[in-house]
Structures are given as structure tokens and as C-alpha cells.
Amino acid sequence: MANTQKRRARQQQGQVNKCVKYSLFFYNFIFWIIGSLLLVFGIWGLVSKKNANLDEITGLVVDPMWMFVILGAVIFVISFAGCIGALRENTCLLKFFCVALGFIVLLEITALILAIVYKTEADSVMGNWIQKAINDYMDDPDIQFLLDNMQSGLRCCGAVDPNDWDSNRYFNCSSPAVSACGVPYSCCVPDEDSDVVNYQCGYGVRRLPEVDWFGLIWIDGCNSAISYWLLQNIIIVSVAIGVILIVQIISIFFVRYMLEDIEMIKALW
């Protein structure tokens, strides 16, 4: 009751809740900076590789630079609207922010449900991405960086098994390259006694019988490794997703609260 009376008194004075206003402003300002950095980084990556053309749009799901550009642009636009809308008490920008963020929350929840219900199909999509990335491994430094970190971090090789690297023209067994019938160094079991990375450790290893691969390279595919990692870290992943959704939902409630204040103030004019 006391809070309601304070709110009405504040509205009659033509003031919105300062705590809500500046919380929204600083929250969105931080994400506006993050979005700007992601956007600039993505554009820089595309330009530096000289592949920012229409043909590369078809490779959207593979090239991480396009993902940085799209994610950065979305965060930039939405957070900018929330930032300026909160600071200037602009109802149009605040409503746009509220609707856009609500739509994103619905998309996230829908994607999460679909990923759980259609786990097999989701695994297939991930497998297709890894396979496409394997094909482009030597032609794109960003994909090379992602795959190397994925394989070394998850201790896996290929999408299903190391033989997936036969689809890459440089690692194919019929290739004239020195890497023929091999795998990248990130597939190799590291030598704990050496601080020097042997970038040729996987060359020619697939010429050996598969029983001899154990101890030389990782023999599990990254598809199963990702599923196993998610299963092992299900609590951490669930908490992280929950925190993100809660923060976004709280932001929507804050915007609605501020909009009510603004509309009430306008009604009193």
C-alpha cells in the first residue's frame, strides 16, 4: 500500500522510478557495447578474409564471422533502443525493446524445447556443421580455429570418427599433399613430456590399422563428445540458460513498469 502511494506521488510529480530507469539504461548500455564489439569483429573478419559477398551467405551456418555479424547487429539494435528509450523515457523505443526482447525469449524457449524433443535431429544438424567445417578446414582460418579447439578440448576427431577427414582434399588418402591419409594435429593425443606442439603428428596416421590409432589420436567423434559433455555439465548449462532467461524476463517487467509510469504521467498532464 505504501509503495503504491509513493508511486502515485512520484507520478504526480512527473517522475518515473529512477532505480528502474537507470538500471535499464546501464544494463542496455553494457550490451550495446558488447553488440558493437561483436559487429565490428565480425565485419573485420569478413573483410580481412575478403569473403564478404553473396556467395558466402549460403555458408552462414559455417562461417563464424557471419554469426558474429548477425548476433552483434541484433544485440546492437535492441540494446540501443532500450538504452536510449530508458534514458529519454521514449515509449516507442521502450515498446520496441520490450516486443523484440519478448520475441527473442520466445525463440530461445522454443529452440530449447525443440532441441530436447528433437535431439536426434539437433545432433544431425551439429554433425552436418562439423562435416561442412571439415571440408573447409584448410580454406578458412576461423573454422580451423574452431575445429582445432573443439577437437583438442573435447578430445575428439571428426564428426563421427577420424575417417571423416577423408572428405577434406588435403587429408584425403589420394591427396598428393604431405598430410594425405592423416588428421589435423588437434586430433593427436598430446605428448605430456614435450612442450612443443607437433603439427604433423597426425600425418599418415589413417594408413595404420584402426586398432593402432589408440594412443596416437582421439578415436571418438565430436558428435558423441558434445553430447557427453552436455550430459556431464547439464546442471551448469541449465543454470546458465535459466539465469539468461530470468535476466531477460526481469528486463521486460522493468520496461513494462517504466511504461506504466510514463503513461500515467502523461494522463496527468
Write the CA distances from 82 to 92, 99, 183, 202, integer angstroms. 10, 11, 48, 50
Q: Is residue 178 part of a domain?
A: yes
Average confidence score pLDDT of the chain: 86
Dihedral of alpha carbons 84, 97, 95, 11, sign: negative
Pair 98, 124 in one domain: no
What gap in Å lies between CA 123 and CA 227, rounded to an integer?
8
Same domain, 202 and 215: yes
Residues 40 and 164 in one domain: no
Residue 58: pLDDT over 80: no
Instruction: Calculate helix-pair angle for 234-268, 18-49, nearest 10 degrees.
Output: 120
149 and 201 within one domain: yes
- pLDDT value of position 186: 95
DSSP code string of 50-87: T--SHHHHTTTTT-HHHHHHHHHHHHHHHHHHHHHHHH
| Rounded Cα gap, residues 22 and 159, in angstroms | 47
Q: Is the dihedral of CA 174, 175, 178, 182 positive or negative?
A: negative
Residues 93 and 130 in one domain: no
Could you tell me if residue 3 is inside a domain?
Answer: no
Please say if the pLDDT value at position 52 is more than 50.
Answer: no
Q: What is the pLDDT of residues 3-26, one digit of tens each?
A: 565 555 555 545 677 888 888 999
In a shared domain, residues 105 and 56: yes
Instruction: For residue range 105-118, list pLDDT tens digits in order.
Output: 999 999 889 888 88
Using alpha carbons only, how large is the chain's radius of gyration in Å? 25
Out of 229, 245, 260, pick the residue that ends a domain.
Answer: 229
Are 134 and 77 contained in the same domain? no
pLDDT beyond 60 at 61: no
190 grid coordinates: 598430446
Strands (E) located in 75-172 = none
Identify the CATH number of the domain in which residue 171 sits.
1.10.1450.10
Domains identified in the chain, total number: 2
Say if residues 37 and 72 touch (Cβ distance below 8 Å).
Answer: yes
Residue 168 · residue 135 · CB < 8 Å: yes
Q: Is residue 1 part of a domain?
A: no
| 66/141 same-domain check | no
Cell representation of residue 24: 535499464
Please tell me the distance from the alpha carbon of residue 257 to that of residue 185, in angstroms, as a whole number. Answer: 55
pLDDT confidence band for 127 (50 / 70 / 90): confident
> 86 with 27: CB under 8 angstroms?
no
Please tell me whether residues 113 and 12 are part of one structural domain: yes
Judge contact between 170 and 164, C-beta under 8 A. Answer: no
Q: 81 lies in which domain range? A: 8-118+234-268
